[in-house]
Structure 1
Amino acid sequence: MKLNYKFYPFQNSNQEKKSIGDFIILHGLFGSSKNWVTVSKFLSEFGNVYAIDQRNHGDSPHNKQHSIQFMADDLDELIKYLQIETPILLGHSMGGLVAMYFDLTHPGVIKKLIIQDIAPRAYPFSYDNEIKSMSFPLDGFASRSEIDTEMAKYVKDSFIRQFLQMSLERREDGVYQWKLNVAGLNQARRVFDDAFIFEKTSDTKTLFLLGGISEYIKESDIELMDRFFKANEKKTIAGGGHYIHFTHQKEYLEILKDWLERN
């Protein structure tokens, strides 16, 4: 599948600085490249950046097949299409699962791996309320605020609603629509199952960037990270949840800068 992406060319005010490689950013479930503009611009000081829309998200094609394996195949196709020899992957949540799976199944291809707040294991599909908040008919709604009020019946957290609404657009006829393949994602409830049931390991330099109060990381996940990724480093942002690239952006970018300059 040919994925949509946004390109941020390498540019650094220090003329002596050279590119360290090409970055590919993989967003999480219900996200898109739109969620990663600030991080993409920051990383463009280190190299070219490709922020992609994964299948069924953003401006990429919709498909009834949605799994970590299929998204890894899409990534493989994109890397070959762009002719990137040793990309640096940054993956958040679902995107982190795709990045880890790709690295483990394509040894030697990835130069560096940055994984945000996810571990190499199965996760439940616990997004019924999010799906419901995007499943009611949108015709008849005159504004985003009206849609937000209806969504609040299912999702109380305004931050999550705003995050979801980044995939809401208004057509030329005035009717709102979701760019996400909501129905398709609802049918892909096993997307996070059984991707890491092999004994493969990776020597890729890996940074796990974690939220200190995230519900996505358990103590037992640390052993899994060490088992699969032999050259990993872990950084935890105190008080941070799953979306630390938004909520703790300054500290997040400082950690990225330090790690990239040391590795």
Structure 2
Amino acid sequence: MKLAYKLYPKESSSGNPNSKDGINILILHGLFGSSKNWVSIAKKLSLYGDVYTIDLRNHGDSPHSEEHSISLMAEDIDEFIQDHSLQNTILLGHSMGGLVSMLYDLLHPGLLKALIIQDISPRPYPFAYDKEIQSMRIPIDHANTRAEVDGFMSEVLPDAFIRQFLQMSLERKPEGGYFWKLNVEGLSKARHMFENVFLPHMSSGTKSLFIVGGDSTYITDSDRELIRSVFLNSEIETLAGGGHYIHYTHASQFLDRIERFIKGVIA
């Protein structure tokens, strides 16, 4: 599948002794997200190389499909890397995008320069997003304003932060009313996407950084052991007080840790 993306070309290396040519950074968003979620971080990371923010299938401007799985998205990323002849590639993935990044690395040993994973572990996860799906199934064809759409959604989904996150994929139709760029129905049918992704024998020697939220429910103590057993050359950084969206809630700390890691990778 040909994925939509935004390219943030590498900035001039003038005055930056840590920058070298040839690094490509691919950023993979989480479920219900898009490349829009990563504009600020992509601009900052373009100091170190070309940065591609990807819209995974059924998200953003990428094509919709009735099929949606981690393995298919890993194949999409492989196609993207080959189509663009990318080398010295660093994958940065959040949540669903992190699972895709990890699986790609495990299936293509030695191809990545490095791996950066945000708040997810190489194990099965439940599909715990029924309220999100339900809130996006509410008819919005004739809504007059985004505030009106938000009001509809709030009856099902009380969390204002999550509603605002979802509404980054909300678009207004030229004739009036709104629609979701997300393939809501397609994603609702992919309830098993987080199951049976990783096989027991899989392991990787890729230099890896896992950044997790100290208050996140996605990472347990056993997950930390699992990460180290699967990704043999990994380090785990915990951002105190952070949840699942630390790239937004703890952006400065998150970016600082990534920059220090990338500088070490390209030194």
Please tell me the TM-score bracket, short chain as reference. Answer: over 0.9
SS in 2 for 1:111: strand
SS in 2 for 1:177: strand
What displacement does 1:237 show? 0.3
**Identity across matched positions, percent:** 54
What residue is the counterpart of 1:170 in the other structure? 172
Structure 1 distance, partners of 2:59, 2:184, is 9
Matches within 5 A, 1:1-263: 1-12=1-12, 13-14=14-15, 16=17, 17-19=19-21, 21-263=23-265
1:19–1:48 Cα contact (<8 Å) kept? no
What displacement does 1:30 show? 0.0
Report how many aligned residue pairs link the two structures.
263
Structure 2 distance, partners of 1:76, 1:194, is 20
What displacement does 1:15 show? 5.9
Structure 2: gaps (5+ residues): none
Amino acid at match of 1:43: L
What displacement does 1:157 show? 1.1
Structure 2 distance, partners of 1:222, 1:26, is 22
Amino acid at match of 1:241: G
2:22–2:88 Cα contact (<8 Å) kept? no
Structure 1: gaps (5+ residues): none
What displacement does 1:155 show? 1.2
- TM-score (structure 2 length as normaliser): 0.96
What displacement does 1:108 show? 1.0
What displacement does 1:139 show? 2.0
- TM-score (structure 1 length as normaliser): 0.98
